Structure formats: structure tokens, C-alpha cells
């Protein structure tokens, strides 16, 4: 029996390397984290019309997300109820039904078993089709078009799960008429590392910009990092933050999107307040467990760190734009994202190298016993309300912009789920 | 022999030489010289994402959708300069690259402009255990400028919907 208490000590800022490479802990995570949390599936803009579908994953489970003929979003395990073959093998498309290539069992967009070949002849009509539909994801809900699913029938509502983070997600996804849409296509690449390493990184590691992304700073694709910003975490395990002047500012990469953001900030100031405008864009963050995002001066991206075992992930990364942006501005945002992030982005290139080397270092007898240090800023916490002098601004931050309170918070949440 | 055939043969032979030079520079890690040698000022350097779709003609993402490279002269050069930084961790230690190509077709487009299509393959290794094959197609629009062929439009399609690489730290 693994003693998680001794391996994860967020209050002392210590987490054992073991949890980033252990097969047994990984198996437990599949049940206790991926089996119970709300997991991001897709965006509603990817499946606008009845019959539209997009492939997704919950942990290692392949999922189909559909727009039913009833206009509602449905999500199912992508495994035929007969004998398990995938009924959908494409990334996305439109289909009236899903037919398994193995024996031809056919399912509607709502997941019902509607066709069984030779039903009279060989099944004697004795198979109760109503009991053999595709396994539905237990709860499916969406916020700002972001579709989440959970297997846990006892899960809180999606709104409760996102909790205080909804305030910040509102600033990121709900600031233009018509909301957001996802640009077609997804960046997929495989990194040999544990899924929690990039998740905690995006959750609040601004410290790594100095060195991991030193090359980006050298060529002025990014301004040197100041110590002037906010980095908040919420009780549900989520976090986000950035410098006050905005993440991803860089003389070499300025675009018309800067002007667009300036307009947005003005509108937020008028409609919500000066503090809210200061917090827009909301920067880099993570929604527990494995959904990260960047809301910057040049683009927005959302991405999933999908686990493929304890030492491997598949990254799925999308570019998000406001529906009512001009086509030209959407393309400027997309190119801005691709230039700096994605598998060949000037910044993201270096992250893969670093994360990969962590995994390489901790496989051995000794490596798996070391503690990682998450002690930055311990004891210097301050509430966002206090910092900004405004009631209702949620989250805890630190006296200094850069801190590892977000990491400690993340592992507190992880530990709470793993030990319950 | 037909005049056009002679012309195409000449371009074919010129492009063989140019691509061999290009890959020599890339294999040496000489990205700046590669950039200056190969591209016109109005270059469009494009590598679209490939998706898994039911129909063959839907697989390659369109120009307004997600891609890996969608660069002009300025942004491509920015990438090249990033590679030249002494904090570019995908270059320290350096990767090992070995490029192969086979010109498949050369067709005239207009006066002094040809479309050159090749199959390409890059065998890429890093450190002890990183090993990737990138295989696909390169389609170049080339233009003769001051007696030199230069690429004015490049479209690269790598035959993967999911990269098995931790970083796509190469040029094609």
C-alpha cells in the first residue's frame, strides 16, 4: 500500500518524484482523478449542427462527442457494446449514425443502439436493444461553450467544480458578442513526460520563463519578465496569472491583436471595473486536473495533457478566437499562436526538452526517492481581495508575482482526491 | 526533343543541386545561411496540420485552419534566429538530421516560375533516445532571381496526424 501522506506534503512544499513516474500511482489516478473530475471534452463550436461529431478522451478512454438530432450535446465511450471495437475512428465529421465495422451494430447520434444486422434471424429479436446503447458519459455540461464530462454520478455541478475560477474564465471566454469558437484542427504531439508536469507548469510557473524560454527573450519575441503581476489559485485546485502588462508582449511579435485587446480592456473596465480590466487577459493557467490555457496579448490557446501511462503524454492543443472577430484578425491570432506555441512554437519547443529530461532523471532507484521543491513564497500568501482592495475578486495570490502557491494548491487537491 | 522538355530537364537538374545544397546546410545546423539561400522576400512557408477524416480530401487542413508553419519572411527568420540563440535548448546538444528527397515532378507555371514537387524524408535523432522519422511531400514554387532559383512558396505535408516528436525542432 503506497503511503501518499509521506510522498506529498504541500504544506512543507515537498512532493516526491515518485508520483511522477510510478505505475501504481498512475493506475490510482485513472480511477480517483480521471474517473471523478470534470474533464474537458470539446468546444460547442466544433459540433454546431445535428450529426456533427468530434473525438475526445477522458484519461485513456476514447470518447465521441456528438450534436444529437435533438440539438443537445452527447458524449459516449467510443467502444461498441457488442465486443469493443471503436465505432468512430476519425477526429471529426458529420454522420447520421455510427456503424461498427466489426459486425455492423449501429448507433444513433444520441448513442442508442438502432441497428443490429440479422436481428430477426440470429438474435430471434431477443436482444433488448435499449440496454445496449453506447456507454454514456455520466454527466455532460458546458460553460462558455466549453464541454466537460465526468463519470462520477456524485460529482458537484460543473459550475461548483469550476468554482471561483468561473470569475476568470468569464474574463477570458465571455468578453465578446457571440462568445468564442475553436479554429479548425488540433495540434497533437507526444512528449515522454508525466501529465502533471506540464499541468503544474501552466498552472503557475512564471519562474521558468527566464531560462527555459531565454531564447525567446533574446530575440525579443517576448519582453523580459517583470516582477509585476498576479498569480492566483482557487480552492478547487485551479489557477492562472500573468504580468499586469500582459503575457507574451514582445517588440518582435506585436500585431493588430494588441489593439483588439486594448479595446476589450476598455470595455471590461466600463462594464465590470478597473480591477477586472487589469486582470484581462487572464494569462496562463490550469483547470484541475489537465486542462491548461493561455490568454495573451496575441492569441488564446487551450490544451489538454492527455495521459498515456506515467511517463508519456499526448498534447492536444487548440486555438480559440472570438466569433465576432474579423476573418483577418482571426488569422493574425492563429499565426500568433503557431509562431510561439504548438509543437514547433518558438517557446513551446524548449518546454518539451525540459519536461522530457525530468522524466529521464527520476526512473531509477535513487531518482524516484527525491523530493521536488515547491517552497517559493511559502508564508507570503495574500488574498486577491486584499491585494486589489476590492471585494469579490476571488483567489489567493502572493506578495510577489512569482510564487509556487499554485503548485502547492494543485497537489493539495490531488492528494485530497487520491486519498478519498 | 520538345523545347519545354529541355527546359524542365534543366530546372530539374538545377533543383537537384539546390536541394542538395539546402540539405547540406540544414544538416550542418547552418540555419541562417539556409534561410538566406533558399527564400525570396515574399516567401510563404506553410505546413498544415493533417487530421484523421473519413474522406481523403479532408485530411489536410485548409489555409485558414491550424498549421505548424504559416510564415512570411519576417516570422520564418524569427524562428531561424531563435534556433541561433545560445539558450535554444533543442540545439544544445545539437540534433542529428539526415534528409532524403526525390523530386517527383517539375511543371512550368509561368515564365521563370516552376512548381517542384518532391517526396521528402528526415531521419532525426537527439540525445540518446529521441528518434523520429518525418516523411511527406514538399511542394515548392520556385522563381529565378539574378540567375538563382529561390523558393517563393513552400507547402510541406508530413504524413502524420499526431507527431511522435516531443518538439518539432526542425525545418523542412
pLDDT at res. A106 = 98
- Under 8 Å CB pairs connecting chains A and B tally to 134
Specify the 3-state DSSP secondary structure of B60: strand
Handedness of CA A43, A49, A53, A58 (dihedral sign): positive
Out of A186, A327, A346, closest to residue B66 by CB: A186
pLDDT value at B21 more than 70 = yes
| Rounded average pLDDT over B64-71 | 98
Q: How many residues does chain B have?
A: 172
Q: For chain A, 420 residues long, give each residue's pLDDT as a single digit of tens.
A: 789 999 999 999 999 999 999 999 999 999 999 999 999 999 999 999 999 999 999 999 999 999 999 999 999 999 999 999 999 999 999 999 999 999 999 999 999 999 999 999 999 999 999 999 999 999 999 999 999 999 999 999 999 999 999 999 999 999 999 999 999 999 999 999 999 999 999 999 999 999 999 999 999 888 888 889 999 999 999 999 999 876 777 777 788 898 999 999 999 999 999 999 999 999 999 999 999 999 999 999 999 999 999 999 999 999 999 999 999 999 999 999 999 999 999 999 999 999 999 999 999 999 999 999 999 999 999 999 999 999 999 999 999 999 999 999 999 999 999 999
Handedness of CA A130, A131, A136, A138 (dihedral sign): positive
pLDDT at res. B46 = 98
Q: Residue A419 corresponds to which cell in the numbers above? A: 486519498
Strands (E), A255-336: 283-287, 291-295, 300-307, 313-322
A61 is catalytic: no
Q: What is the ipTM of this complex?
A: 0.96
pLDDT at res. B1 = 59
**Torsion angles phi and psi, residue B97, rounded to 5:** -125, 140
Place of cell 512548381: B115
CB contact under 8 Å between B89 and A221, yes or no, is no
CB contact under 8 Å between A346 and B64, yes or no, is no
Distance of alpha carbon A207 from alpha carbon A408, whole angstroms: 15
Helix A196-204 vs helix A348-361: crossing angle, to nearest 10: 130
CB contact under 8 Å between A338 and B64, yes or no, is no
Q: Tell me the chain B residues in contact with residue A211 when contact means C-beta distances shorter than 8 Å.
A: 87
How far is CA A375 from each of CA A12, A242, A395, A403, rounded to the nearest angstrom? 7, 20, 19, 8
A213 is catalytic: yes
Per cent of chain B over pLDDT 90 is 94
Out of B53, B161, B168, closest to residue A344 by CB: B168
A208 is catalytic: yes
- In degrees, to the nearest 5, what angle opens at C-alpha A249 toward C-alphas B36 and A143? 120
Task: Show Cβ contacts of residue A75 under 8 Å, excluding neighbours closer than 6 positions.
Answer: A41, A56, A63, A64, A65, A66, A136, A137, A140, A147, A149
Distance of alpha carbon A213 from alpha carbon A191, whole angstroms: 18
pLDDT at res. B141 = 98
Q: How far is A51 from chain B (nearest CA, A)?
A: 14
Residue B81: pLDDT band with limits 50, 70, 90: very high
Mutate to test the interface with A, among B32, B54, B66 (most CBs of A within 10 A): B66
Distance of alpha carbon A9 from alpha carbon A1, whole angstroms: 18
Which is nearest to A198 in space by CA: A8, A309, A348, A42? A348
Amino acid at each position: 500500500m503506497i503511503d501518499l501522506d509521506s510522498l506529498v506534503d504541500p504544506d512543507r512544499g515537498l512532493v516526491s518524484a515518485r508520483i511522477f513516474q510510478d505505475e501504481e500511482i498512475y493506475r490510482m489516478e485513472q480511477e480517483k482523478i480521471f474517473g471523478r473530475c470534470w474533464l474537458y471534452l470539446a468546444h460547442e463550436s466544433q459540433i454546431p449542427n445535428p450529426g456533427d461529431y468530434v473525438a475526445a478522451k477522458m484519461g485513456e478512454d476514447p470518447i465521441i462527442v456528438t450534436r444529437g438530432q435533438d440539438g443537445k450535446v452527447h458524449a459516449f465511450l467510443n467502444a461498441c457494446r457488442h465486443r469493443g471495437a471503436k465505432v468512430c475512428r476519425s477526429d471529426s465529421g458529420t454522420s447520421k449514425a455510427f456503424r461498427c465495422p466489426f459486425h455492423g451494430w449501429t448507433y444513433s447520434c444520441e448513442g442508442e443502439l438502432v441497428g443490429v444486422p440479422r436481428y430477426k434471424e440470429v438474435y430471434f429479436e431477443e436482444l433488448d436493444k435499449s440496454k445496449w446503447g453506447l456507454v454514456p458519459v455520466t454527466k455532460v455540461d458546458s460553460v462558455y461553450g466549453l464541454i466537460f464530462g465526468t463519470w462520477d454520478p456524485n460529482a458537484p455541478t460543473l459550475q461548483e467544480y469550476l468554482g471561483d475560477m468561473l470569475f476568470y474564465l468569464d474574463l477570458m471566454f465571455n468578453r465578446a458578442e457571440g462568445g468564442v469558437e475553436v479554429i479548425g484542427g488540433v495540434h497533437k504531439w507526444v512528449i515522454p513526460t508525466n501529465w502533471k508536469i506540464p499541468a503544474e507548469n501552466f498552472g503557475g510557473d512564471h519562474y521558468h520563463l527566464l531560462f527555459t524560454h531565454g531564447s525567446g527573450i533574446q530575440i525579443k519575441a517576448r519582453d523580459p519578465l517583470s516582477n509585476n503581476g498576479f498569480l492566483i489559485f482557487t480552492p478547487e485546485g485551479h489557477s492562472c496569472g500573468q504580468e499586469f502588462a500582459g503575457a507574451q508582449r514582445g517588440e518582435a511579435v506585436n500585431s493588430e491583436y494588441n489593439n483588439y485587446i486594448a479595446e476589450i480592456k476598455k470595455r471590461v473596465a466600463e462594464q465590470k471595473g478597473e480591477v477586472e480590466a487589469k486582470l484581462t487577459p487572464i494569462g496562463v493557467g490550469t483547470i484541475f486536473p489537465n486542462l491548461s490555457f493561455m490568454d495573451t496579448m496575441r492569441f488564446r490557446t487551450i490544451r489538454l495533457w492527455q495521459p498515456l501511462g506515467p511517463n508519456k503524454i499526448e498534447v492536444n492543443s487548440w486555438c480559440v478566437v472570438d466569433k465576432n472577430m474579423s476573418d483577418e484578425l482571426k488569422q493574425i491570432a492563429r499565426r500568433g499562436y503557431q509562431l510561439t506555441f504548438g509543437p514547433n512554437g518558438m517557446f513551446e519547443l524548449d518546454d518539451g526538452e525540459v519536461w522530457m529530461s525530468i522524466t529521464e532523471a527520476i526512473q531509477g532507484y535513487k531518482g524516484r526517492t527525491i523530493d521536488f521543491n515547491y517552497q517559493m513564497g511559502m508564508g507570503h500568501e495574500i488574498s486577491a481581495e486584499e491585494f486589489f482592495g476590492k471585494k469579490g475578486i476571488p483567489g489567493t495570490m502572493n506578495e510577489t508575482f512569482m510564487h509556487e502557491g499554485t503548485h502547492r494548491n494543485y497537489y493539495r487537491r490531488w492528494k485530497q482526491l487520491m486519498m478519498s | 526533343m520538345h523545347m519545354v522538355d529541355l527546359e524542365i530537364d534543366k530546372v530539374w537538374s538545377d533543383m537537384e543541386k539546390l536541394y542538395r545544397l539546402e540539405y547540406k546546410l540544414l544538416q550542418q545546423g547552418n540555419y541562417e545561411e539556409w534561410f538566406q539561400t533558399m527564400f525570396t522576400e515574399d516567401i510563404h512557408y506553410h505546413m498544415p496540420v493533417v487530421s484523421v477524416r473519413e474522406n481523403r480530401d479532408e485530411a489536410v487542413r485548409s489555409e485558414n485552419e491550424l498549421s505548424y508553419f504559416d510564415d512570411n519572411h519576417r516570422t520564418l527568420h524569427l524562428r531561424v534566429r531563435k534556433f541561433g540563440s545560445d539558450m535554444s535548448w533543442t540545439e544544445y546538444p545539437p540534433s542529428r538530421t539526415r534528409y532524403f528527397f526525390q523530386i517527383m515532378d517539375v511543371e512550368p507555371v509561368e515564365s521563370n516560375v516552376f512548381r517542384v514537387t518532391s517526396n521528402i524524408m528526415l531521419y532525426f535523432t537527439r540525445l540518446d533516445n529521441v528518434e523520429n522519422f518525418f516523411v511527406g511531400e514538399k511542394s515548392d514554387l520556385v522563381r529565378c532571381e539574378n540567375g538563382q532559383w529561390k523558393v517563393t512558396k513552400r507547402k510541406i505535408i508530413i504524413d502524420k496526424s499526431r507527431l511522435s516528436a516531443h518538439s518539432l525542432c526542425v525545418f523542412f
